[in-house]
Copies of this chain bind each other. A is one copy, B any other.
Amino acid sequence: MARTQGSHAGTTGPKVRDAALRLFARHGFAAVSMRQIAREVGVQAGALYLYTPDKQTLLFELMRDHLEDLLAGWSAPEGGAAVQLEHFARHHIAYHLDRPDLVFIAYMELRNLSPENFAVIEGLRRDYEDRLEAILRAGVAEGVFDVPDTKLATMAVISMLTGVTTWFRDGGRLSRGDVESIYWDMVRKAVMSGGV
């Protein structure tokens, strides 16, 4: 106890990121001070600068790592466009429900990034959207999807799926599996050919 200095703890770095993530998600990047983050970690504000060059980089790295994880966590399975779309939709929901705070700040704090950092994050986001659009285009070419504009459909599907984080809470009426299935069903009907 009371080991306040000189400790080679090695755990402070992750704790700084965790605290920053939680506080940024709860109060917003601009509303959180370095002193608040430090208090949460149990350290003085100056010590944070051993783990990040500045506050902005703390935000940027959270967002970048999140999007790189999202991209790394999904790859197109074998099969037709319909199979790929189902896989994409279910993975998107599962991933987002597992990381509500990261998803939240990645969508909310874009405007607090420097122009250079914004460009990086925007590029990663576009990569992700492009994957979905490629599936939709393939489905149109196969004749199984009927969407007049794949870019619009991409944005519509992503908005709908991401929106799940705004209302879903574990322990409610529906399980994660239920939610995945129902969302996938709506996506499927919305883009499939031969509908009502």
Contacts and interface: CB of A to CB of B under 8 A. Distances in A.
Interface string A163-196: 1101100000110000100110111111111111
Is chain A's binding surface mostly helix, strand, loop or mixed? helix
Interface residues on A, range: 35 or more
Interface in A117-175: 147-149, 151-153, 155-160, 162-164, 166-167, 173-174
Contacts of A162: 159
Nearest to A156: B160
Given A163-B156, A166-B155, A174-B149, A191 B186 contact: yes
Contacts of A3: none
Identical copies of this chain, number: 2
A26 interface: yes
A1 interface: no
Given A28-B111, A155-B167, A190 B194 contact: no
Contacts of A174: 149, 152
A8 interface: no
Interface string A10-27: 000000000000000011
Given A163-B158, A191-B186, A193-B196, A111 B152 contact: no
Interface of A: 26-31, 108, 111-112, 147-149, 151-153, 155-160, 162-164, 166-167, 173-174, 179, 182-183, 185-196
